[in-house]
Amino acid sequence: MKEMSQMGGGMSFYGELPDSYNLVVNSNHKLVLKLADKLYSEKGSELELNDTERKRLKDEIEFLEKEHSKKKADEISQFEKDDFENLRKELSDIETARKNILELFGSEQHIVKQMIDLALLSNNMLKGEDLNAFVKRSVDLL
């Protein structure tokens, strides 16, 4: 639809949509396994704490949802509603922290960017300055 909007016509609003791509990763590939090992050796304790906290919060939220489903909306006290919202916010913060840990690790690994660029290159989507950076990074990695 986005490509069709570039040709003109009444579908110009599709041209304003952001680009999105799906990246499929072979989790059994030796480079991915090597990255996973490195991740867990460097950030494993942080991720385990985060996972434990996320599981605890999800269990509490699930319990409250079950309890709330047994009641009518006007039977739930404001305290319970506030507690429920606080748990959801806390879970969101924990998930954001996990995302930040993973993003920081990934941004420090040149091989991650290399794998993404290889996927883009295989689909003829790597051009210009990004292609130049890919070639330089390839030489450095060799």
Query: Whole-model pTM?
Result: 0.73
- Asked whether residue 48 carries a pLDDT value surpassing 70, the answer given is yes
Residue 94: burial class (beta carbons within 10 Å; 0-12, 13-18, 19+): buried
- Domain of residue 134 covers 109-142
92 and 50 share one domain: yes
60 and 85 share one domain: yes
Number of domains in the chain: 2
- Asked whether residue 22 carries a pLDDT value surpassing 90, the answer given is no
Q: What is the pLDDT of residue 10?
A: 57
64 and 94 share one domain: yes
Structure confidence at residue 52 as a pLDDT band (50, 70, 90):
very high
Most confident of 62-76, 91-105, 121-135: 91-105
Closest to 10 measured CA to CA, from 1, 22, 20: 1
